[in-house]
Amino acid sequence: MSGLGGIPPEARDLEVPAATVVPTNGSGRGGVATGSSPAHDEVPAPPGDGTALLEVEDLVKYFPILGGVLRRHVADVKAVDGVSFSVKRREVFGLVGESGCGKTTLGRALLYLQPPTSGRVRLDGQDLHALKPEQLRRMRAKMQIIFQDPYGSLNPRMPVSDIIGEGLLAQGLKDHRVRMKRVEDSLEAVGLRRDYTRRYPHEFSGGQRQRIGIARALALNPEFVVCDEPVSALDVSIQSQILNLLLDLREQFGLTYLFIAHNLSVVQYISDRVGVMYLGRMVELAGVGELYERPRHPYTVALLSAVPEVDRARARKRIVLRGDVPSPVNPPSGCHFHPRCWLRERLGNPEICSTVDPRLHVVGEGHAAACHFADRIEQERDRAAKPVVAPASAPAGA
């Protein structure tokens, strides 16, 4: 893989690679519709025959807004608003969507770093909500996170031995010698020298710092890792090294990833399945090949159309999403996407779009979309003789 980088104005938050990235895996295989939450009645299970490591059911995370002199609860930022999906062991589940749609909040709520407002998260069959604080602390070793910013996420005053070792200490590994061996093994696993333990973050390059961040997660011997934009802050030349390292570590240690990114080519490269978020909701979910070849939600179609490298056949039929994502404090009625939806406009603005919230439902093998007119996508899009332009954004709540 080469040449990841560059941002076209149409894609806004979505980075576009300078060169094509060839996906190595995933093709929308397998998948069985299963019953789930009231908001998402049919969510495809992971492909293949493996059991799910992570199961998320109707997860909600609201941030309260306090107002007035008495600091009363006046509203909520609905950052994650009823998300259900599952991730199979050793799977890479990619998560994409515009800035502010709730990707990071979802990742942190899954790990109980920010406890969810409601909903369920099960890791390895264990309901995290049912765990006592001490049990949750021990469970945390199994669930780790790698952050976007390799500079900000490492304490500049700590040597590498402490940065990687403090999590081990918190998990009760008191024996210094054993701890240092784990630290050195982790450094070696991410391609760094064992004797780097005495160095400080400022002595490393950006790519090396991200490797330290990965080593810190790895040292705890996790099963599930949330990678929150782990390559976005890195030089283009380094990005592919880190992606390949993550894939190697997945093989070596049997890891399972939730991989959050803006860059659709990066997600295509690394993911087995992909979920698309819009305004706190999962609006589409499918195997990576299926999603990139046959998107069934107008939002996904628009995102992909802004990246010619991943949508070559249709590169000239670009759909430009106008307007900003509405506020998650007061999302639009019915389908949250309706004020910006090009398909709704092509269909003559059917009332149902602004009155009835479309559920995430099965639209193909291992493929789900939250759109009342998912079956009209191909036809309407292919009819477009020239670039389709989405309507201007309407006020939130319209």
Ligand X SMILES: Nc1ncnc2c1ncn2[C@@H]1O[C@H](COP(=O)(O)OP(=O)(O)OP(=O)(O)O)[C@@H](O)[C@H]1O
- Binding-site ranges for Mg ion (CB under 5 A): 104
- Least CB distance to ligand SF4 at residue 383 (A): 15
Of the two residues 261 and 341, which places its CB atom closer to ligand SF4 in the complex? Answer: 341
Per-residue x/- track, 298-317, ligand SF4 (CB under 6 A): x-------------------
Q: Is 347 exposed, middle or buried (0-12, 13-18, 19+ CB in 10 A)?
A: middle
Contact 180, 161 (CB under 8 A): yes
Write the CA distances from 310 to 20, 72, 91, 380, integer angstroms. 7, 47, 21, 20
Q: Is 102 in the site for ligand X (CB under 6 A)?
A: yes
d(CA 16, CA 89): 29
Of the two residues 106 and 319, which places its CB atom closer to ligand X in the complex? Answer: 106
- Residue 338, contacted partner among ligand SF4, ligand X, Mg ion, none, CB below 5-8 A by kind: ligand SF4
- Least CB distance to Mg ion at residue 103 (A): 5
Of the two residues 280 and 289, which places its CB atom closer to ligand X in the complex? Answer: 280
Contact 15, 6 (CB under 8 A): yes
* Piece of 16-24, 30-38, 94-102, 136-144 that binds ligand X (CB under 6 A): 94-102
**Which residue among 1, 83, 101, 370 contacts ligand X (CB under 6 A)?**
101
The position carrying tokens 């990965």 is 214
Nearest to 296 by CA among 313, 327, 280, 274: 274
Handedness of CA 264, 265, 266, 267 (dihedral sign): positive
Cα dihedral angle (149, 231, 98, 372), rounded to 10 degrees? Answer: -140
Q: Is 99 in the site for ligand X (CB under 6 A)?
A: yes
- Least CB distance to ligand X at residue 276 (A): 12
Q: Is 96 in the site for ligand SF4 (CB under 6 A)?
A: no
* Piece of 19-27, 101-109, 178-186, 215-223 that binds ligand X (CB under 6 A): 101-109
Q: How big is the site for ligand X, counted in residues (CB under 6 A)?
A: 12
- Residue 390, contacted partner among ligand X, ligand SF4, Mg ion, none, CB below 5-8 A by kind: none
Per-residue x/- track, 318-357, ligand X (CB under 6 A): ----------x-----------------------------
Of the two residues 150 and 358, which places its CB atom closer to ligand SF4 in the complex? Answer: 358
Could you give phi then psi for residue 174, rounded to 5 degrees?
Answer: -85, -25
Of the two residues 158 and 394, which places its CB atom closer to ligand SF4 in the complex? Answer: 394
Positions in 340-369 near ligand SF4 (CB under 6 A)? 341, 343-344, 353, 358
Of the two residues 5 and 350, which places its CB atom closer to ligand SF4 in the complex? Answer: 350
Q: How big is the site for ligand SF4, counted in residues (CB under 6 A)?
A: 12
Residues of this chain that interact with ligand X (CB under 6 A) are 63, 77, 79, 97, 99-105, 328
Residues of this chain that interact with ligand SF4 (CB under 6 A) are 298, 335, 337-338, 341, 343-344, 353, 358, 371-373
